Amino acid sequence: MPYDDAGGASGPASGAAVRRARTALLATGLATALVVLAVLATSVGAYDIPVGDVVGSLRHRAGLGGSALDRVGESVLWNVRLPRVVLALLVGASLGCAGALMQGVFGNPLAEPGVIGISSGAAVGAVGSIALGLDFLGNWTVTACAFAAGLVTVTLVYALSRSDGRTEVVTLILTGIAVNAFAGALIGLSVFFADNAQLTQITFWQLGSLAQATWPKVLAVLPCAAAGLLLAPLFARRIDLLALGERPAHHLGVDVERLRLAVVLLVALLTAAAVAVAGVVTFVGLLVPHVLRMAAGPGHRFLIPGSALGGALVLVAADLTARTVAQPAELPLGVLTALVGSPFFFWLLRRTRRRQGGWA
């Protein structure tokens, strides 16, 4: 075995060990930062609660000692702050994980859930239900319509892009672009016929927000998010093999068509649930996998769960910023992520272009 100057083993084995150590350190750092930021987010706001009191109340509810806050503090913490932070965790993790799956299965770093029409389809369902004044499920009508429309849209895109029993990536993406354009026209039509009150509600939903977070909304998104996040890592090995190319992956035992169908449905489940409760929040699923791929490499065994952690971290931070940076007003969450994400994405493009010496 070859040795380096310091007397240690070198070569592929030591390189793999370094990569494992790096990903373990990165995962630990993400998890720690997420816990710290989540506790901070429950503490900071129009009604500040000291971090020690937050921890004490959490311990008290869990039966681990601690002490309860006063009546107002308990109400703010448990009925306002915690539902919002938990919803941000679930939505961010779902969007980050969905982005990693999309980029991996399509072999395209520009892929994200919105490309195949899930977000715009969910928006059509929500905006249409508002403009038509639907109320068959009470306060849940908009959420249910958004979720159902997102799933129907991705099913339609997949069906339209199939030919001779298989689906080409380019055809799927182009079909998604066409469906996005059609969905945009339907949203514009709904806005045109909406009255002033409906227009305000439509605008608020389209800009993205967690301001109306409640425990029932957390419970609504929890089954879809939990199922998607638990199932996603099971596809990591096959997605890594797909990176070798469709033919080599097929020879290695991967059913490429079935893999794509399963991943697209999983992405639809994660994204539709997130968009249904939070509105349209962009760039999380695009940028988080990019950054982690730069830091830890392209292996999806880490990239998929890491993107879930990173997405949760980004959205908790974005929501904390949105509700505190312009107090007493609150910035729209989707606008904030786009304002920060767009320049960062442009920097990523420039960086990639310089490294590759151009796109041609």
325 φ/ψ angles, rounded to the nearest 5 degrees: -70, -25
Cα–Cα distance, 296 to 250 (Å, whole number)? 26
Whether the per-residue pLDDT at 356 is higher than 80: the answer is no
Label residue 222 left, alpha or beta by phi (over 0 means left) and psi (-120 to 50 means alpha). alpha
Under the banding of pLDDT at 50, 70 and 90, the label for residue 4 is very low
Crossing angle of helices 215-231/82-106, nearest 10°?
Answer: 30
140 contacts: CB under 8 Å, gap ≥ 6: 220
Crossing angle of helices 82-106/300-324, nearest 10°?
Answer: 140
The number of residues making up the chain comes to 360
Domains recognised in the chain with CATH numbers: 19-335 (1.10.3470.10)
Query: What pLDDT does 94 receive?
Result: 94
CA-to-CA dists, residue 105 to 78, 110, 174, 257, 351, angstroms: 39, 12, 16, 10, 23
162 φ/ψ angles, rounded to the nearest 5 degrees: -80, 145
- Write out pLDDT tens, residues 59-101: 888 888 878 888 888 899 999 999 999 999 999 999 999 999 9
Q: CA angle, corner 330, sides to 326 and 331, nearest 5? A: 85
Query: What pLDDT does 165 receive?
Result: 67
Cα–Cα distance, 2 to 12 (Å, whole number)? 10
Single pTM value for the model: 0.87
